[in-house]
Structure formats: C-alpha cells, structure tokens
Chains A and B, each alone.
Chain A
Amino acid sequence: MAATALAKAPASPAAAGAPAGNALSVRNLDVVFGKGDGAITALSNVSVDIPAGSLVTMLGPSGCGKSTLLRAVADLVPASAGSITVLGRTPEQARRERNFSFVFQDATLLPWRSAIDNVRLPLEVGGGSGTHDDPMDLLDLVGLKGREKALPSELSGGMRQRVAIARALVTRPKILLMDEPFGALDEITRDKLNEELLRIWQETGTTIMFVTHSIPEAAFLGQHVLVLAAHPGRVKEFVTVDLPFPRRLPVRDTMEFIQITARLRKLLEEC
C-alpha cells in the first residue's frame, strides 16, 4: 500500500506535497496511560491510513480512545508502541512544521483577544508567520465578516467555534484534526456548521480527521467513518460512506443515508 511507501521514505519532504497517498498513517499504535497495575490501555494495536485530502470521521463509545488517537497524532499524547507518520514525518516534526491544526471541543479562544486577534495567534507564536492566509479572509470564510473586533464573550458558542476553525486554518495546514468541535453546540447550530465544514473542506482541500459521538454527524461529514471499539480502544471497522459530494442536509432523509447510520449503529452496539 501507499502507506508503506511513505513510511519507508520519511526523509523525502516532496512526499508531503503529493496529493496521492496517505496524509496520515498509524501502525500498530498502543497508548498506555500510567504504569504498573494502575496502567490504562487507551489504544491497542491501532492501524489506520488516512488518504490525503479525505475527510474521515471517528466514531465510538466513550472510552474507545478516539480523542486519544487524535491527540497522539497531534503530539499531545506520546505513543507507547507502534508508529505514527504524519506526511512522512513524526508527529513532533509535523507539529513544528505546522503541518496540522487542532480544533478542540471548547473553542479555547483567549478571552482578552478579539476574534481577529485570536485568528492571528498562530502567526505570533512558535515562529509561525511563514505561509499563511489573511486572517480577515478566514473570518469571512467562516461567516464572521464584520465581527472581527468582537471579544469571545460577545460571541455565541457557534460563533466562537467558527473563530476557532478560522484560527486553525490560518496557517494553511495540510491536516485538520477536530476533536468533537461541535459537541457542545445545539443541534441547529451544529447542522449549519456541519454543512459549512464540508464547504470549507472542499474549498481548501485539507485532510480532515473529525472525532464525534454522533452517528448522523459521522455519516454526514465522513467520506469514511473509522469505528472504534472500547476497552481497550481498537479499530472495529473502516466504513466508506458512499454518498456523493457536495452533501446538503436533506441527504440525511434519504434511504441510503439511513442505511448507513443503521449499519454504524449496529457496529457500535457490537463494540
């Protein structure tokens, strides 16, 4: 598979730019928290390839380690065994080169900074003022034109998460890691942001890994759904969602969609 080719050529930075192949490759990954008797195995022998430019959602019961997998890819959690290759690099190299961005469940905006200044934050730290997009254009992209001077406390939860997405996109990342970004939002806002995320994905061509615990959200957004099982966290199945893009919300009322969600639900019940 292409994954092995990438893994064998980590020194070639050209591979990073290639649209074909895998943006992300995880091999036999174990993540264990703690030591000795109290050790908790969060992930056990996880292997997965994420094709470049794809949108993969991760679904699973709580405790299945879906967030841990995302955090391991983002170099926030160390791998206990196995390997993670992000665009041919280690997670740490990829982080230093700003190859990926992370969107958290909470918007994690700095409350004293205006919307636009929050979007600028990645350009001010970590030596990250290299290639980047205009923060103003990004606020426009996420539908917040005219609110750039607003403080986070003056924005709704959905708007704050839009700012967080704009901030994640400002460094032009090749990969966007999203950890239940819409989990705390009401359903109407969540639906709207789901549609907009698909639009942004198609406009930017970014590879997206999206963690959720909502079956419809996983099916609506994902080209593929990575279903994880719990205790210990492991891969249950890699489901391909055969629905054409661009997808709009009404697709969720079609027979095909309902069949897919039914299948995902069944897989989760087996977990």
Chain B
Amino acid sequence: MADIAHRSLPAPREGMLHYADRLGEKWPAIAAVVGLVALWQFVVWALSVPTYMVPSPGAVLNAFRQEGWLLLTNFWPTLGEALLGFFFGNLSAILLAVWFVHNRTAERAFYPIAVFMHTIPIIAVAPILVLIFGNGLAPKIIIAALICFFPTLVNMVRGLKAVTPATLDLMRVLSASKSEIFWKVRIQSSLPFLFAALKIASTTCVIGAIVAEWIGSNFGLGALIIEATFNFRAPLLYATVFVAAMLAVALFSIVSVAEARLIKWKASDVH
C-alpha cells in the first residue's frame, strides 16, 4: 500500500523526489566512506603511526590547504597530457580500425603487431620514449596515447563488424553503396563498443601521463608523487594521489555522460 501511494505521487514534485530517491540509494556508500575515513583516523591515532609513514586524514586535508597551489600547478600539465593522449590515442585507434575494416590485408599485416605492442608493459616503453623525445610534454602525451590505443582499436574493429548479415542483406536490397553502409550502419553500430573503450581510456590515460612523469620529469602529478615520496612528505603524497584519482573519475564521468546523451538505444552484445 505504502509503496503504491509513494509511486503515484503527483508529477510536479518528481524532480525533488528523484533527488531524494537517489540520496536514499546512495547513503550506504556515503556512510561507508565516512566510516572508513573515521576508522583510518582512529587507527593512526591509536597506534601512533608516524606521519611520514601513514598520515592521518586530517594531515592530508592540511596538505591540501597548505600545498594547494603546488598541487594545482602540477595538476594542469598532467590534465593536458592525459587529454591530448586520450584524443590522439583514440583518434589513431579509430582511424586504424576503419582502415582494418576496409582492408583485410592491412588488418592481417598490422593487427598482430598491435597485439604485440600491447603486451609490452607501458612502464618499459616509457624510458625508450623519454630517450627519443626528451623531457618535455611529447613523451608523456605519447605514453598516455599508447595506453588508450589498444582497447579502443580492438573494440572499434569489433563494433564496426558488429552488423548482422540480415542488415547487410537489407542494405544490398536497397542498393546502398559501401560508404552509405559505413556511415548509416557501421559507424552507428560501433558507438556502444567505442564508448566501452573510451570509458577504459578515460582512466588509463591518466595512468599513462603519471607513469611518464615518473621518469625524469620535473612537473606534473607523477613528478610530485616521486618528489613527495623521496622527501617523506606523506601528506602531500596522499593529496597528490587523491587529485590524480579525482581526475580519472572526472574524465570517466564526462565520457559516461556523453555516452548516455549519444546512445539512447540498447546494444545487445557489448560488455
């Protein structure tokens, strides 16, 4: 009864209700986070853990207040590298996937190489690129791009091929040209696959940028992480890690929102 009454509430208050409903859904997560932070604070206090080893949440918060400017100046380069890496990595993956779908020989020639390149740990590639491109932004962008590249290539190839034989029959009966099939069918049906990959890329591009900054860089969140670690500035280290995580979460959310806007239909076999 109560349930039915709740559902049939008048429409004008729907917005507020919606908000309240979502808060109702989210409270366990919020409570868990608050609880864990409180536990962290308690353990650090109870066991008298030294700050250079594990700082308390209060100390990390303090680092944000005192080192805010330092965090911000190192945030911008990492953001730029991650975004440019995301853009170029995914763009080249998409273009290569389009080429593969149109040219079987190209796919047979280069796909195995792409797979092989993916198996090389990004951490091993980073020094090589630093040797080639020096200490500037370029190697960081390239590493961020490389890390985005492979999942997008694989998913995009799958997506462009995810057209049922019946749909191809239909397009043939309609005498559709190859380019019409590409633009009207293949691109559209690849979008869910593409966005599945872009969501992965949105977080890995941040990892790529930070890993690149670990190797002989004097700017960026990655460099700050190394510096804070070597100087036992644990609160700053934690604050930096938190900023990096927030960056990844923000990029992921933007991609998710774009996906929800662009794809209103449900694809059956995307994971």
- Name A's B-contacting residues (CB within 8 A): 74-76, 95-96, 98, 100-102, 104-106, 108, 110-112, 121-122, 124-128, 151-153
A153-B266 CB under 8 A given contacts A102-B173, A110-B167, A127-B175: yes
Q: Which 5 pairs between the two chains have the least Cβ-Cβ distance? A: A126-B175, A125-B176, A125-B180, A102-B173, A112-B265
Contact of A112 among B170, B172, B188 (CB under 8 A): B188
Partner of B173, one of A74, A110, A111: A74
Contact residues in A for B263 (Cβ distance below 8 Å):
112
Q: Find B169's partner among A76, A98, A111, A122 (CB 8 Å cutoff).
A: A76
Flag if A126 contacts B174 (CB, 8 Å).
yes
Which B residues lie within 8 Å of A125 (CB)? Answer: 171, 174-177, 180, 184
Chain A, interface SS category: loop
Please, what's the 1-or-0 string for B154-179, where 1 marks a CB less than 8 Å from any CB in chain A?
00000000001011011111111100
CA distance A122 to B180 in the complex (A): 11
CB of B91 within 8 Å of the partner chain:
no
Q: Can you name 26 A-B pairs with beta carbons within 8 Å? A: A95-B172, A96-B175, A98-B175, A100-B173, A102-B169, A104-B166, A104-B169, A104-B170, A106-B164, A108-B167, A110-B185, A112-B263, A112-B264, A112-B265, A121-B184, A124-B180, A125-B171, A125-B184, A126-B177, A126-B180, A128-B174, A151-B264, A151-B265, A152-B265, A153-B265, A153-B266
- Give the distance to chain A from B165, nearest Cβ to Cβ, in Å: 10
The contact string, 1 if C-beta is below 8 Å from chain A, for chain B 255-266, is 000000001111
B267 within 8 Å of A (CB atoms)? yes
Docked Cα-Cα span, A127 to B179, in Å, equals 12
**Closest B residue by C-beta to A152:** B265
Residues of B within 8 A of A (CB-CB), count: 23
Q: What is the minimal beta-carbon distance from B270 to any residue of chain A, in angstroms?
A: 12
User: Which residue, A96, A105, A121, A125, has most C-beta atoms of chain B within 10 A?
Assistant: A125
Given contacts A104-B166, A112-B264, A153-B266, contact A95 B180 (CB under 8 A): no
**A101 to B166 CA separation, bound complex (whole angstroms):** 14
List residues of B whose CB falls within 8 A of some A CB.
164, 166-167, 169-177, 180, 184-185, 188-189, 191, 263-267
**Which residues of A lie under 8 Å from residue B267 when comparing CB positions?**
111
CB neighbours of A98 from chain B (8 A): 175
Q: 16 other contacts beyond A100-B173, A102-B173, A128-B174, with CB at 8 A cut-off? A: A76-B173, A95-B175, A98-B175, A104-B169, A110-B188, A111-B265, A111-B267, A112-B191, A121-B184, A125-B175, A125-B177, A125-B180, A126-B174, A126-B175, A126-B176, A127-B175
Contact partners of B164 in chain A: CB under 8 A = 106, 108
Interchain CA distance A102-B176 in the complex, whole Å: 14
Residues of B close to A102: CB separation below 8 A:
169-170, 173
Minimum CB–CB distance for A191 against chain B, Å = 25
- Which residues of the partner chain B approach A101 to less than 8 Å between Cβ atoms? 173
Q: Is the CB of A122 within 8 A of B265?
A: no
Chain A: minimal CB distance from B179 (Å): 10
* Nearest CB of chain A from residue B120's CB, rounded to whole Å: 37
Q: How far is the CB of B163 from chain A (nearest CB, A)?
A: 10
| Closest Cβ neighbor of A151 among chain B residues | B265
Give Cα distance in the complex from A180 to B140, angstroms: 57
Using CB atoms, name the residue of chain A closest to B170.
A108
Complex Cα–Cα for A151 and B188 (A): 14
Contact A106 to B166, CB < 8 A, known contacts A112-B263, A125-B174:
yes
* Nearest CB on B from A170, distance (A): 11
- B159 to chain A: closest CB distance in Å? 13
Nearest A residue to B179, CB-CB: A125
Please, how many angstroms separate the alpha-carbon atoms of A112 and B264 in the complex?
Answer: 7
Least Cβ–Cβ distance between B166 and chain A, in angstroms: 5
CA–CA, A200 and B185, complex, Å: 29
Of chain A, the residue at the smallest CB distance from B163 is A110
Q: Which residues of B contact A75 (CB under 8 A)?
A: 172-173
Most buried by A among B170, B175, B191: B170
By a CB distance below 8 angstroms, the chain A residues around B171 are: 125
Cα A105 to Cα B169 in complex, Å, equals: 12
